[in-house]
A and B are shown apart, each in its own frame.
Chain A
């Protein structure tokens, strides 16, 4: 239990006042149109969505799992957090392609890239999946806040879950994405400052940098300082093969769209940016901040290890970074620390409330139910969807203990068997909607087989997760590659339109030739003629 002084409560009240104030302040902008409510009118300079990328991916459970992997594996554990690096390549490839398409959502992009019934089925599936996923993430993150409040104040879990998400909903309902982005900027600054302060405080408490290095050496744990201390090439619980798989997934994944679960939130930030350049820099710098933050955390966790070595219970050492704050910060600062935890929490909640509502409004309501809906109506539908997501997340959060293992399995589905198809849809003109749909269906079946059914019957051994990834990728390809080649390509007219607008990278030469023939690549044609004349 943590005891608060008057100054601590003051920090919290002040902070909540600022957050809700931001919503009221941007209420007029948010209600102007659908584009304002969900994309802030597509006019943001790069640093605003960048701060939102950073703030959104700093959730209440993030310090727990970062602490968990660093405490267990030392500085090498930093690679567990490196999945965010898909933005390294994405910022300059898929971000550019997606921003040029002007699609609000990934589901909408599917109907620009693919055609006909297959495209519509994909749009329905992706949007329904995203509404569900956002509700799930809201419940998951909300429950993490419930646990923190339980640890700090002894509150029942539901209190922390409901109170702070409901506060957040006030400004999301009022100002939509304008409220999200403006609050994220403040929250990002506060959260980053506090992460640095608490971490430095913890490092000093452990005897400073020199003290940490000396103590680790005395304990015979100097290997914890090495960022490449793997358990072997293939053996042990942290082999180099895992690291290489992570690098491939994260980095090559940047050529595709949806290769990371974070893509869907990032896609909203990409489209809200003023230009293609702003979109690229927002994604790149937002992620750079995430990685810098992880490294600062890693050092603080090494400090925690020096102060409290030998903890074997994961649920205990996962709270290590929070303990540094609550145990070592002076009175009056603890409230500021808790205000930062609220900031971390609200930034994630607000994003997923607005994102889930966007998929519901744009892809389900407007596209399938009422294409004649006006702007005002869409803003109200957005608000209604926000409210439904909020209430749904409370139920998810309270059920979380029972459904967690199922939903983690559902998250796993997002990554393995559809990883390559998510890239192919961007880089290969011949990949069609039926191939993509079949990859989702195949992945569903294969994941069950590889992860649970075959190992339980002893047909295959229980594989480490990185081997499951490669196997699922291979098995999926056996299905979707033949399906793609045995079904018709998307109509050339549709592909040409998509190509001329988005200019995708990769194997697009038949489409490109057709686009050139039709004079759709005007600039290029003129320049080539000029060169030929010269």
Chain B
């Protein structure tokens, strides 16, 4: 079994899996590295460029991990969206429906 799954069926993509949890850990790190890296790079400090590069690499990695899953969820879900929207409208207009 591969460490990172990159091919998803709509059903399996609906589940919360380790790919989500890895993203949940990487994503805040990206923000922290970006915040520090951009500032220190503007000051032309080597540590700034290293931090910024690490942040960019992590962003690419994060997208590589989560993007196939998000695509699969989106594709499957958009097919159902119209039906859900109609149900939602009925719920909001409850008086009309019940009256």
| Chain A interface residues (CB < 8 Å from chain B) | 75, 78, 82, 85, 88-89, 91-93, 96, 100, 102-103, 108, 111-112, 199, 203, 209-210, 212-213, 225, 227, 251, 274-278, 280, 284, 287-288, 291-292, 294-296, 298-299, 302, 362, 366-367, 371-372, 501, 503, 505, 521-524, 526-527
Contact = CB atoms under 8 A, between A and B. Distances in A.
A292 B76 CA distance: 34
Contact of B39 (A296, A523, A524): A296
Given A276-B73, A527-B12, A292 B34 contact: yes
Interface in B1-37: 9-12, 14-16, 20, 23-24, 27-28, 30-32, 34-37
Contact of B42 (A277, A299, A527): A299
Chain A contact residues: helix, strand, loop or mixed: helix
A131 B77 CA distance: 31
A296 B70 CA distance: 31
Contacts, number: 134
B71 A277 contact: yes
A169 B1 CA distance: 56
A274 B71 CA distance: 12
B95 A524 contact: no
Contact of B31 (A88, A100, A505): A88
A426 to B, nearest CB: 12
Contacts of A523: 9-12, 14, 76
A209 B44 contact: yes
Contacts of B45: 209, 213, 225
A287 B31 contact: yes
B15 to A, nearest CB: 7
Nearest to A276: B74
A206 to B, nearest CB: 11
B20 A92 contact: yes
A290 B81 CA distance: 31
Contacts of B93: 366, 371-372
A111 B91 contact: yes
Contacts of B34: 288, 291-292, 295
A291 B31 contact: yes
B38 A371 contact: no
B64 interface: no
A414 to B, nearest CB: 22
Contacts of B94: 367, 371
A214 B84 CA distance: 61
A524 B14 CA distance: 8
B43 interface: yes
B38 A296 contact: yes
B60 interface: no
